[in-house]
Amino acid sequence: MQPGLIWGCARSGEGTALIDECEACADASFRWLHLNLADDRTQRWLDRSIKLPEPIHELMLARETHQQVIVEDGVVGLVLQDFEREFDVAQTSQIGALHIVITPDVMLTGRYHPIHSADIMRQRIAAGFDVCDGADALGLAIGTMVDGLSEHVHALSADIQTAEDEFLNERMSPATRDLIAVRRRGARLHRLVAGMRATLVRLERDPDLPPLFAPVAERHVQRLHALDTDVASTQAQLRQLRDELDLQAAQKTNQNLYFLSVISALLLPATLVTGFFGMNTGGLPFAHTEAGTFVAAMAAVASSAATWLLLRRRP
């Protein structure tokens, strides 16, 4: 394979087909090359084969992962965040970046670490998706990433609903550690979705954006807005569940404190009686009678009973 090329496709009269070399189908109407930016040979190939505006070239090779967009001389450059994947794990919690550059006849995408959505893009092209031009390619790339984020949001919502059902059915309450993990996932998804939406809004409003890409940006801005609303809804559900769990824990604590307070109130008079009869002083009542211990015990019980009746009569 061409150094640095992970996969690629080319559009010809017969449709879109996958290619395994950067220079293959050079006469195609449109090509899409997905590159490994961690390979040093990729940078040399870019310098040698494709002339990009300097800001776009730097954006393509930058190691920064924050989402951004540049449009210059009709060339569009994007950095969008997505979840990384490992060789033995399809999805991880690590966030990576997909670098996108679109010229009139070729779209370049690249990553420093494997991206989950890139594999799905290749599978969709292999399944027959026709990439006619840059708008189709950009729409497939962004659409696949948004679909992946949507799956994460739906999974997050399902986890929260399961926790709510357990709580409402008075079964085992969700573990605090699990809820913290769900909250962390929600915050991560919110940053991803909101950041991608803000980036595409800037792309849509850029006066230098070629008209071909404006409908693509507008369509996915609307999808991301709806998805961001779903994320906010799940976060609100999580906060409400946490509030209810905190209220339940506070009620249990109050019940325990009330029980301990009643026990303390009942034992305090008895303790006072036993302390009084336990003094080693002269003239202690009932000290020299056979029923002294019984009388002291009855006095302790009577004082506790009187305290209980007093507590019951209070409003």
* Cα dist from 115 to 92, 94, 111, 154, 220, whole Å: 10, 10, 7, 20, 20
Token digits of residue 56: 């776009």
**Widest pairwise Cα distance in the chain:** 120
Residue 223 has a pLDDT of 92
What would the pLDDT profile of 151-161 be if each residue is shown by its tens digit? 999 988 888 88
Residue 174 has a pLDDT of 67
DSSP count for the chain of H helices, then E strands: 7, 7
Rounded CA separation 218/195 (Å): 15
Residue 224 has a pLDDT of 93
Side-chain-side CA neighbours of 312 within 13 Å: the count stands at: 7
Residue 111 has a pLDDT of 93
Question: pTM value?
Answer: 0.77
CB count within 10 Å of CB 148 equals 18
Which residues are bridge partners to 75 per DSSP? Answer: 72
Token digits of residue 155: 């999974």
Residue 43 has a pLDDT of 87
What would the pLDDT profile of 81-132 be if each residue is shown by its tens digit? 998 887 655 556 788 899 999 988 899 999 999 988 998 999 999 998 999 8
Residue 109 has a pLDDT of 94
3-state secondary structure of 77: strand
For tokens 């061409």, name the residue. 2
The yes-or-no verdict on residue 73 having pLDDT over 80 is: yes
Radius of gyration of the chain (CA): 35
- Strand intervals (E) in the chain: 5-12, 15-19, 30-36, 68-72, 75-83, 95-102, 106-111
The yes-or-no verdict on residue 315 having pLDDT over 70 is: no
What would the pLDDT profile of 270-313 be if each residue is shown by its tens digit? 888 888 777 777 777 777 777 878 888 888 888 888 888 887 88
